[in-house]
Structure 1
């Protein structure tokens, strides 16, 4: 069976942008994120040596989640303009590197990636989800693990592998309870309000005792601390809606996507056009023999 790397494209693009200095082409076009992106993809290939690697991008909001909660992700700031300019080129570079670039209008990339991970795992493949997004912890099982990038505040920690035991250590609940856990405590990054005052420790304690979100709702009259009893009863339906928002899809809406092949000439042309000289030199060495260099 094969080893697959599934990359959360926008998560990695933002990290490439903020992790690099403000580099520009001679005409002022920003290129910092482009340098960071290509080097990150190469590092992942060299470090993990996957049999196949795919990148997933967003191409519009989640229509299903917005129908349930119109304020879903409404608080997020606009993408910085220099990064916005680089996103189309990042996608071009991704495809030229043979990493495909999967996207579908109206469906979040998280759902596309999660569904693909589960299909591959069910077929017996090993999957690494490359992302810092905590939502993916719900996908972890014997075949699926998360590869988290170094924290921007402490890059020396390096890339970290998260298996089921690491999920429990970090969140206090196993992967199967992550979506319910997030529904209960809320997720500020997605603008999903949980029960005010219920933090990770209280949530983990309740799940240990009552097992599921419905179990917690059913036991609302006996919850401790007592101040949450009426609140949970009152907000039971909102918690159920939250769970629909925090649960990633397990139903593929695309056929299985296969690994692409590097388009070396196209990649080198892009790197030259972006005036990425050192990256171009490295690409010429890395892909030598795979295509004519101009």
Structure 2
């Protein structure tokens, strides 16, 4: 039984960047994200003990989604300079640590990750996949063999990592994975600049979906929907909700037929990077971990 860990690269890198502050090399080059990245990945390896690890990064652009909604993610601020400086080194560290790395210009890493997760379990009836991300969009991919591994919330780190199976998704959001696309389409996503139904929050969306099944069922019953203030509004939003579903739903065809990169350890390369970044404690731990054959 193969266990795969598929990591949402930028999601986890940003967490590492903000978790560790004011850490830099002697010449002033920032190393806080690097420090947090290595520490977080080792923690994941120790806890999850996967057979294969692949990290997915965005190269820029989301052509299919921008054609549907030109304002998609237009509200995103530029990443901090200190973070941008560390991204290439995070990728070098990722490869040297023996993890695979997947990125494709013009295609969001979320689509690539979801495509590979779905493909892995379809090709191997015993494979298990865990998606490492705080992005709720991945809840739509959860099955008995694809789980979502949520990092500790910033506001409540004591909650720890949470492994969500289908029952866990329903417990957290109120609907099963099969209804997550409709749920997110109704409430929208401020972080991605996706407008939902004005005034429709999570509780209302869950209530409608449990009663009418999906977005089509909700629209078909708009004349009797409650609260009554939505009865005239919903029919005018049919096109918007259709676009939302297409944007939020993953395109699983990307990289079809291309084998997943699962990486290969480069201990010399890893030690060189850690030395150059003056990460002495990480360097010592790398030698201890990998020279003993404890790759994960």
TM-score, reference length from structure 2: 0.96
In 2, Cα distance between equivalents of 1:257 and 1:121: 13
Aligned to 1:241: 243
Which of residues 125, 129, 132 in structure 2 aligns to 1:130? 132
Q: What are the Cα deviations for residues 91-133 of structure 1, in whole angstroms up to 9, with x where unaligned?
A: 0000111112110000000000001110112122100000000
Aligned to 2:113: 113
Secondary structure, aligned partner of 1:217:
helix
Q: Does 1:263 align with 2:263?
A: no
Secondary structure, aligned partner of 1:230:
coil
What's the RMSD between the two structures over aligned residues? 1.0
Which of residues 270, 275, 293 in structure 2 aligns to 1:272? 275
In 1, Cα distance between equivalents of 2:142 and 2:12: 19
In 1, Cα distance between equivalents of 2:100 and 2:171: 34
How far the C-alpha of 1:76 sits from its partner, in A, is 1.0
Structure 1: segments with no counterpart, 5+ residues: none
In 2, Cα distance between equivalents of 1:221 and 1:289: 67
Q: What are the Cα deviations for residues 74-95 of structure 1, in whole angstroms up to 9, with x where unaligned?
A: 1111111101100000000001
How far the C-alpha of 1:21 sits from its partner, in A, is 2.2
In 2, Cα distance between equivalents of 1:213 and 1:144: 25
In 1, Cα distance between equivalents of 2:67 and 2:254: 20
In 1, Cα distance between equivalents of 2:169 and 2:6: 19
TM-score, reference length from structure 1: 0.96
Secondary structure, aligned partner of 2:148:
strand
Q: What are the Cα deviations for residues 15-69 of structure 1, in whole angstroms up to 9, with x where unaligned?
A: 0001112110111100000010001111111110001110000011210000110
Aligned to 1:250: 252
Secondary structure, aligned partner of 2:13:
helix
Secondary structure, aligned partner of 1:278:
helix
Aligned to 1:20: 20
The number of aligned residues is 290
Q: Where in structure 2 are the equivalents of 1:189-204 lying within 5 Å? A: 189-204=191-206
Aligned to 2:157: 155
Aligned to 1:144: 146
**Over 3 Å off, 4+ runs:** none
Q: What are the Cα deviations for residues 190-249 of structure 1, in whole angstroms up to 9, with x where unaligned?
A: 110001111111111111111111111111111111110111101111110111111012
In 1, Cα distance between equivalents of 2:184 and 2:245: 8
In 2, Cα distance between equivalents of 1:202 and 1:113: 30
Q: Does 1:227 align with 2:224?
A: no
In 1, Cα distance between equivalents of 2:275 and 2:215: 54
Aligned to 2:60: 60
In 1, Cα distance between equivalents of 2:235 and 2:200: 14
Q: What are the Cα deviations for residues 149-198 of structure 1, in whole angstroms up to 9, with x where unaligned?
A: 11112211111111111111111111011011111110111110001111
